[in-house]
Structure 1
Amino acid sequence: MKPLVLIGFCLFVLFGFQRKSARMSWRDGHTLSWSDFQGLPSKGSAFSASSNTGISHRFTIKSTGIIDKSKSIIKANFYPKLSWYKPELIDEFTLKHEQTHFDISEVHARMFRKAVAEFHFTRNSKAEIQRIYKKIESSRRKMQSQFDAETEHSVNREAEKLWEVKVQALLHKYQPWAG
């Protein structure tokens, strides 16, 4: 019986490590490099690159049924194995475009942290946190789509520069809620 427990523990550690290493959290001062993109390009895709980003949230509910804000962990993540590029179609502007996608997710992680910090949770914390998340996630997806549409997926260099400035201003605006 003990060997089974040990094998189970080893599998848990192995899979836990793989899951944890399967994403990269946004860090101030760190920019993406092409080596971070480890996925295979989507067959038939007309795009030169794709970065898969998102927001994760871990939280604890106290015995009172109310969320423990001090244990709330919200991260913007980049998923290397789900992100890819086509070497023959990329340039330095493409990488900056993909970085801006990651930065947009960080802006929304900060917005989420701010919303959690300011919200007065009740015993209905799980439903309340889900509503907050859905609102933030909807905004994040909308901004990601708008960014791609307005920059024509990094083709429109003028629009790209405007978006870079806009996103950096938002990161600055929400700096008090950086992770």
Structure 2
Amino acid sequence: MAQDTPIYLVLKSSKQSIRPAEFFISGVQDIRVAQSSIGEIFTSSQSLRKESLEIKDGVVKSTEGFIEGMLYTDRSKRPVVVQVQEMNVAEKSATDGKIKGQIGLSLRFLLDGDSLVHLLDYDGGARYTRSLGRYAVIGSAMEQSLGNALNYFNEWINQQAPRNIKLAQGLDLEIVDYPAAEKGDTVFYHPDRKLDWDDFKARPHTGSSYAASIFTSFAWEGDPKVEDGRVKLELVVKVFMLKSSSWARSSRKDAYGINHEQRHFDITKIVVERFKEKVRQLELGPEDYDGRIGYLYIETYREMNKMQEAYDDETDHGRNKDAQRKWNEYIDQELAKYR
């Protein structure tokens, strides 16, 4: 059984033997399930008695001191938090009277910022053999384990920094329109590809008094790549209508009617051009670009719906020809801004 008086382990490190090029340790957290002792060790040959082993000054403060001594700190680099998941010592007696010991060490490395971003889990340790009363051997084995972990992470981040999106330190954005004009059921917006009545494939709604109905929308997709430590993001924007969701009554298919439906498509194009302008104005980072663009997409979708409703309300779905003429002029003026 372990006794009430613990043995304290003192960690020592060589002065700044690692000079990281990509990071510094901004903090240490102890997330072990049991945050008291780190194990039990033999202290006497009498009845093979064991006593608790603890880290002097505690796991957090002692590990911080060890890291500070071993790593050169440059706070212009990436801040990294170390979480101690496991740090324990287990011993058993050997037949030759010696004591066999094993260090268990599990660390988690996370990028520090507004939130912690997981980078790497490290599992390691060391074995040792000692005589009774020779506690320094345990300290040396623990120091070796911690040193190996820091060296491993340093090598890992040096390799990952140029290509890992979690470690990217900037973002370069390019916005492009989807190049195809038509693909299967979908017509993608293109100034040279005007709609015609053959694009309206759905069956007319029997309960509707309208001459036609068009389904238009827009979407975006990003293809991020990491080059030389920066995210290269090509944002592909699609403005489209779906043939299978758009319909027209055969008795109302004329040039005036197709113009009204084309203007619905034009309105979607206009709000998407505004969306693109707003995205370009954002100061996007590798860690937040997806959420911020996604939020702006939702806001733009609402803007599109409001503008489409205003268009139909004011033109009375195309029946008010004077209002239709005014909207035609307004839409043409807006489209001209983006050519």
TM norm structure 2:
0.43
Q: Which residue of 2 aligns with 1:84?
A: 247
Q: Which residue of 1 aligns with 2:324?
A: 160
**By how many angstroms is 1:146 displaced?**
0.2
Matched, 1:50 2:213: yes
Q: Which residue of 2 aligns with 1:31?
A: 194
Q: Which residue of 2 aligns with 1:111?
A: 274
Larger radius of gyration: 2
CA RMSD of aligned residues (A): 2.0
* Partner Cα distance (1:113, 1:91) in 2: 34
* Partner Cα distance (2:276, 2:335) in 1: 13
Q: Which residue of 2 aligns with 1:133?
A: 297
TM norm structure 1:
0.79
* Partner Cα distance (1:67, 1:52) in 2: 35
Gaps of 5+ in 1: 1-19
* Partner Cα distance (1:68, 1:40) in 2: 44
Q: Which residue of 2 aligns with 1:97?
A: 260
More strand as a share of residues: 2
Q: Which residue of 1 aligns with 2:204?
A: 41
Equivalent residue pairs, number: 155
The partner residue of 1:148 within 280, 298, 312 is: 312
State the Cα deviation string for residues 10-64 of structure 1 (Å, max 9, x = none): xxxxxxxxxx522111111221110111111123111110011011111124459
Identify which of structures 1 and 2 has the higher relative contact order when contacts are C-alpha pairs closer than 8 Å and 6+ apart: 1
* Partner Cα distance (1:100, 1:126) in 2: 30
The AA in structure 2 aligned to 1:109 is: V
Q: Is the 8 A contact 1:22 1:79 kept in 2?
A: yes
User: Structure 1 pair 107/137, CA: closer, same or farther in 2 (3 Å)?
Assistant: same
User: Structure 1 pair 41/86, CA: closer, same or farther in 2 (3 Å)?
Assistant: same
Gaps of 5+ in 2: 1-182
